[in-house]
Every structure is written in structure tokens, then in C-alpha cells.
Amino acid sequence: MGRAAGKVAIVTGAANGLGAASARALHAEGAAVVVADIDTNAGTALVESLGKNALFLKLDVSQEQQWIDVMAATLERFGKLDVLVNNAGVVVMATIEDTTLEQLKFVQSVNIDGPFLGCKHALPAMTRSGGGSIINISSIAAMVGTPPFAAYSASKGAVRSITQTVAAHCKMRRNGIRCNSIHPGSMETDMTASLLQLGATSPLAVELMLEMGSEVDRYGKPEDVAAAVVYLASDESNYVSGSMLVIDDAATAV
């Protein structure tokens, strides 16, 4: 207990799934947590369940002014920022031939613009706090080909690159800020469940099953990712920056 004691964290897409698990884990370890999401009802309910030192702020991660407002509100309430978890993400199931430009832009606006803007506006706040940890949730789709998810795969590859660029930037600046990415495999989330349901009636079903792990005997749990978030947020990882932590039960190793 207390591995994140005294820290202030913003978690995006925190109302459900991996984000909610990460927010709970950080709070349980002593952090003050800002639950940032477009889902006001679920986000508020999570904050109420957490109790003290938790705050819900509505955030569409694709909108820069909303990032500015969330940073200001966080600093006003808690006085500093130590941890940012860029978790919010969307997925469209379509191959490169079937993906429309509108779908590509939608996925990019959340999965690329969100982490980019989060890093951009977290850096000044963390610098004033004496350092911090940025944790970007990417995917194993950034590391291997995923035919049914062309736009998603491209966006998660960008997250991987943004992470390493920010890490290198912070090292040169000597500002005490670390930046790492987590690459989950198949996880037990509502997003995964909806994709599996869609895949059952889609021409892409075979490809989808291969991507989502039909050959894997189990899915990961959101808590598996949350444990990694706590580690990267804590001082235990103070020499870890620019790394890519894969959590996929060896899916990318075989």
C-alpha cells in the first residue's frame, strides 16, 4: 500500500475498462485521482465509489481547450500533477481497403490527438511539480500486423512513437519526467466483448478471431494493466523511460 502516496494522477477514458481499473489501483495506492472521460454518469459513479481525493472532469481528449481546462482544474484542486495515464481510445473494425477516410480521422482524433495533447499540456505542469510519469496505453497492434483494425493499428503505432519521442525530449530537458507505453493484448473489457459480438456475424470473423486471440487460452484482466500502471507511476520505476511494456501472455512472442 502507498506506492503512489502523495501523487496526483489524471486518467483518461477512466469511466470504464482499463482506465477505471487503473484509476482504482492508483487511488488504492494513495494517489489523488482525476477521472477524465466523456461518460459523465459512469465517471461520476466511479468517483463516488472512490470517495476522498477523487474528482471527475469531463474530457473529450480530441479537444485541446478541454485539455487546457482539465489541467487547470486539476492544478486548482490538487496543486500539482505527477502522473498522466493516456488511456482513452476507440477502435473501428475494418481492413485497409474498407476503412473510410472519415473512420480513419475519427480514430486518429482520439487515439493520436489525445495522447499528443495530453503529453503537450502535462509537461509544463509536471515540470513545475519537479517531474512526473506519463503512461500511454498503446496495444500489441502497434507491434504486429492486425488486418481487421487498420486505423486502430496505425494509431497505436503512433502512440508508441510519441512515447519514445517524449521520453527522449524529457531526457534532453532534464525535467525529471518519464514517459512509457503499455501494450496490452486481448483483455476482458466491454470493447473486446463488442468486437467479438460483431465478429460473429462479420465477413471479418476469421481475421478477428485470430487478432483477438482464439489460440490463447485466456484473456487478460484490466487489473493486469492497472498493476503495470501503478509500477510506472511509482518511484520504483524512476530509471524506466522510453520503454514498451507488453502485457499479452506471449501473444507477440509466438
Point out the residues that are catalytic: 152
Sheet architecture: strand order including 83-86: 54-58, 32-37, 8-12, 83-86, 132-137, 177-184, 244-247
- Counting Cα atoms < 13 Å in the Cβ hemisphere of 121 gives 23
Alpha carbons 138 and 177: distance in angstroms, whole number: 19
Query: CB–CB of 111/63 below 8 Å?
Result: no
Q: How many residues does the chain have?
A: 254
C-alpha cell recorded at residue 208: 478477428
CA distance 229 to 25: 8
d(CA 215, CA 21): 26
As a whole number of angstroms, the distance between CA 135 and CA 121 comes to 14
Q: Which residue has 510506472 as its cell numbers?
A: 232
Residue 172 CA to residue 87 CA, distance in Å, equals 26
φ, ψ dihedrals at 98, nearest 5°: -100, -15
> 219 near 190, Cβ under 8 Å?
no
